[in-house]
Amino acid sequence: MECLRDAERPMVLGRIGEYELEEEVQRGGQGVVFRARQPGTKRRIALKRLLAGAFATGSMRRRFEREVEAAALLNHPNIVTVYGMEIVDGTPLLAMEWIDGVPATVWSQGKSPEDVLELFLRIADAIQHAHLRGVVHRDVKPSNVLVDASGQPHVLDFGLAKRCALDGDDATLEASKSAEAFGTPAYASPEQLNASATELDQRTDVYSLGVLLFEMLTDASPYGECGSVSELVRRVGTVRAPRLATFDPRLGAELDTIVRTALEPERDERYATVDAFASDVRRHLAGAPIAATPTSSWTLARRLVARNPLVSGLAAAVFVLALAFAGYAQRQAERFEAQKLVAEEARDAAVERQRRAATLLAYVPDCVHSLNAGVHPLLAKPGAWLDGSVAHSSPNPYFAPASTNPAEATRTDHERAP
């Protein structure tokens, strides 16, 4: 155990075999990377050494071997060149092309969305090149994508790569099923964290590239701030990434759809290949319609139910109760409206009756006047009907005196009637 601790302590710079160590540039869970020189060629290289040194386990050594085997299959300007592996004093060493650059997420800070997308397309083309040769990277992250001073990205570290059979070819490059096969949690796909290594394919790299592009565009993680690795792992595949426009209004809905499609938790709903992902980015840059479509509300609801059956069941019960209450409230409202309508009709009928009564009462004074004018003389002079005095004194035209005109006298009462 003490020997293992000694192997993991920072090394004093000097030599490892023929290599002159200049600087330790990176240290991870399995290995450490130095900037070094080859004395014979004076070529600057990146030299990776297992932390455990001569005490490295078989699985650790196989990871080095996989990286060399993967590199032998690849030849792309945006993929770092691996020169070879050798054993020096029992310690496995991996010699690679030295890239003097910064992580992609550091390079992208302050860059325009168009510049970021153009660089991303070169990264995607490198990963697609590997896929076409049956190699899935499975550890795409900023520290494994370095951008040099000329703006060229370089994909490195194929230590977790997996060989997939193509066109009947036998897959020989396999990854360990230990914890190291699941990549870096912040960039790993949901299936990497929740399933066996044998179920991983090129859509795993599509997801990791989606996380990388999200960070390059927003300078933020799609999962937000996480206080622990366990919290991060819980959010992968369950927390929906914020809209890109919340970070930068220049990042519209179309680009948001592209990134969200790459970050779909279910593999079958992601882009099937990195090339399909890159093709939509190219269409977006060209102003052409993209192939991806926004995720429907029904799909989102279905995922929520699948992930949280208990909570979803309670929510469904509350929803049913809310519907029942809404229906009851609607019926009560309709009943109230009907009662209000009946009341308004009754009020209108009462108003109409009052109006008619008022109209009729308006004639009462005339009738009383006519009655007084006709009846009072009769009471005062009983013979008034005989001498026609009532007709002369009544304001009623029916009591008007008989005409003295001979022609008028011959008219019947009906003809004289107005």
pLDDT score recorded for residue 255: 97
The pLDDT value recorded for residue 177 is 45
Q: At what angle do helices 113-132 and 202-218 cross, to 10 degrees?
A: 170
Least confident of 35-39, 147-151, 179-183, 351-355: 179-183
CB 156 within 8 A of CB 144: yes
Strand extents, DSSP E, 43-161 = 44-50, 82-88, 91-97, 101-103, 135-136, 145-148, 153-155
16 sits in which H/E element: strand 15-16
Average pLDDT rounded to a whole number, residues 387-396 = 50
Strand order of the β-sheet with 15-16 is 15-16, 19-27, 31-37, 44-50, 91-97, 82-88
Higher pLDDT, 256 or 395: 256
pLDDT of the residue at 307 = 47
pLDDT at 171 over 70: no
As annotated, the active-site residues are 139
Give the whole-number percent of the chain exceeding pLDDT 70: 72
- When pLDDT is cut at 50, 70 and 90, the band that residue 61 belongs to is confident
172 pLDDT exceeds 60? no
For the full predicted model, state whether its pTM sits above 0.95: no
- Any residues with CB less than 8 A from the CB of 26 and at least 6 apart, and which? 32, 33, 143
Higher per-residue pLDDT: 222 or 319: 222
pLDDT confidence bin for 388, thresholds 50/70/90? low
Mean of per-residue pLDDT scores for the chain: 79
Instruction: Inform me whether the pLDDT recorded for 211 exceeds 90.
Output: yes
Q: Which helix (H) or strand (E) holds 329?
A: helix 309-361
pLDDT score recorded for residue 21:
92
**pLDDT at residue number 143:** 92
Say yes or no to pLDDT of 205 above 70: yes
Cβ neighbours around 159 below 10 Å, total: 25
The pLDDT, as a whole number, for residue 159 is: 80
Cα 203 from Cα 164, distance rounded (Å): 12
pLDDT at 3: 46
371 or 223, which is more confident: 223
Q: How confident is the model at residue 168 (pLDDT cuts 50, 70, 90)?
A: very low
Which ranges constitute the DSSP H helices of 20-112? 58-73, 104-107
Tens of pLDDT along 363-386?
Answer: 666 666 666 666 566 555 555 555
Q: Residue range 93-100: average pLDDT?
A: 90
